[in-house]
Amino acid sequence: MDSDEETLEEIVEGHLDDDGLPHGFCTVTYSSTDRFEGNFVHGEKNGRGKFFFFDGSTLEGYYVDDALQGQGIYTYEDGVALHGTYVDGELNGPAQEYDSDGRLIFKGQYKDNTRHGVCWIYYPDGGSLVGEVNEDGEMTGEKIAYVYPDGKTAYSGRFIDGEMIEAKLATLTAVEDGKPQFEVVPGSPVYSFDKSTSSCISTNALLPDPYESERVYVDVSLISSAGEGLFSKIAAEASTVMSFYNGVRITHQEVDSRDWALNGNTISLDDETVIDVPEPYNHAAKYCASLGHKANHSFTPNCTYEPFVHPRFGPIKCIRTIRAVEKDEELTVAYGYDHNPVGQNGPEAPEWYQLELKAFQAAQQKKSRSPDPGRLWGSSPVSPFGGLCGNQSSMDRYRYFIFNQRNMVVLGMFQIAFSTVCVTSGFIDGIFRTESQLGKTRAPIWAGMVNVLVVASIISYVAILVVIVYSSLTLSYGEEEEPSSVPVHVIHTGKALRVSQAWSKARISPASTSGDKDTAATGQLDKPGLISSASSAVKLKRRNEAFLSPVFKQLLAVGVKAFQMLKADHQFIAGQIKMSGQQDDVSPIQCEEEQPFLGFLLVVKAISKPSAIA
């Protein structure tokens, strides 16, 4: 908002010329509290500068001889920015406007600071209004059109200041130099602005919305006891507007004052208004102008509610996908009731919602606290352990492999600790066997050290065994066969889309290669919605085997070597006892042929007779 600078007093901050006029970069504040910061040449604005107006708006650009010329940006107090072409300080030429989030909301021409010619107005929801504006810059005329978010479906006809008065269904066929080309659909009914009130849902309740009719239909819901549901007619990408939620407009106070049974089809539009589809309009035979109220609730929805400016219904809510949906997939939304637990002024939700919420939260807590037993200990026809650990997906298997690898590291640390005990015991034993004063007192101490040595070795063997058994149980994928495909069939039964998985036990026969190449290679059935994890599982299996094979070989080699050393040590002990005159108790040959546990018994016997090795 500019001010009449000639009648305003100025306060100048900056350099002044000999005549006391601003010169160079200065800040000039006017009595209206408008402020200009920029370059001056003997009192005139020249160069880049910016106005700061008292209402919070700004204007910046390049000034020549005290007037804005060329490209400039006017920013409104609400953050909307108008990028336009200025001639002698006035908008003349192409311009674009962007909202505070940087989204394009206007594109067209200006003449003497007023919109001119063919202009486009873009709504945040994806719809747009296009046509040649009148002398006041308003969307008023006989050739104005509203275009739906798909960029094709449109209403073309007479509008007054952007409000649809009388229009027919049309298709946007082309846009040349910013000017749209439309083809009116033959036999189209007449549409007009028909905003609901608190008592009238629509003056033409049985006239469907053409955009919505191409994308959704109503059928029996897959959700138990939910009645009818909303389904997709097409395969749609994420962020696609699918349906509209229109209804009578009532207040929040009215909704809060009545029973939950009467609020089954209510949705909040803003802080003051609630949209409701009451009886009998919740039946398609009575009302089908919009179908958004047919979408059922889910805690894992595929759609969401968003504001929408509809050319016929006015400000309402729409249903927009939050992920890609398939044809005939049921569309669900999260109703978003208050989740306050019972006892804190009561939960603001109907009883059925409370029950489903508790069940969902319990399932989520159980899932987060423990892994899925069906995945961790599922059955597999290729597992050599009677069906243990074979039903995971390839990513689950990799995750459990990392988990097992961590356990192997822990067990390996125990192995190293026990080996350290063995080495230490052997070192001390070697000292006690020398011909020294210390060696003469080795009888009880030396026997105890050997005892520790044997026990540590046994524990070490147990640790190795635990590693082998545990890893075999959790990392077994089978050696004779490889899992084929995992067909995932989408079944329309139950509260939401349910998934039925079945492992294919039959291997791919040579005859199957005569069919589709990709199908024969993966073992999949030629049906949509099937997923194969055979390739990734086989690759992971080979990678795990490549890692585990050398590890087990090394561990087993260490175990065998330790066993051989222990036998040799037992043989030496037996020899020492034999030389001490204890042949009748045990012989070296017997120590070699019997199990290592006899060596342990030998040490115990030696401890009980210290004189034998004194």
Catalytic residues: 245, 293, 297, 305, 335
How far apart (Å, rounded) are the C-alpha atoms in residues 145 and 46?
Answer: 43
Tokens of 125: 């929801």
Residues contacting residue 457 through CB under 8 Å, at least 6 positions apart: 418, 422, 562, 563, 566, 596
Cα 51 → chain centroid: 44
Tokens of 200: 């009238």
Helix ranges restricted to H, 12-136: none
Strand order across the 273-276 sheet = 248-251, 273-276, 266-268
Cα 97 → chain centroid: 32
Helix ranges restricted to H, 14-127: none
- Amino acid identity of residue 492, one-letter, is H
Q: What are the phi and psi torsion angles at 338 (to 5°)?
A: -65, 130
How far apart (Å, rounded) are the C-alpha atoms in residues 107 and 229?
Answer: 40
What is the residue-wise DSSP string for 337-382? ---PPTTSS--SS-HHHHHHHHHHHHHHHHHHHS--HHHHS---TT
Is residue 340 within 8 Å of residue 349, measured between CB atoms? no
Q: Of 385, 305, 376, 372, nearest to 337 (Cα)?
A: 305
Is residue 333 within 8 Å of residue 350, measured between CB atoms? no
Tokens of 527: 């049906």
Helix ranges restricted to H, 335-492: 351-369, 373-376, 394-432, 437-440, 442-474
The burial class, CB within 10 Å (0-12 / 13-18 / 19+), for 532 is: buried
Residues shown for the chain: 614
How far apart (Å, rounded) are the C-alpha atoms in residues 230 and 537?
Answer: 38
> What single DSSP character describes residue 8?
S
How far apart (Å, rounded) are the C-alpha atoms in residues 161 and 129?
Answer: 11
How far apart (Å, rounded) are the C-alpha atoms in residues 352 and 484?
Answer: 42
Helix axes 597-608, 534-579, angle to 10 degrees: 30
- Which run of H or of E encompasses 126? none
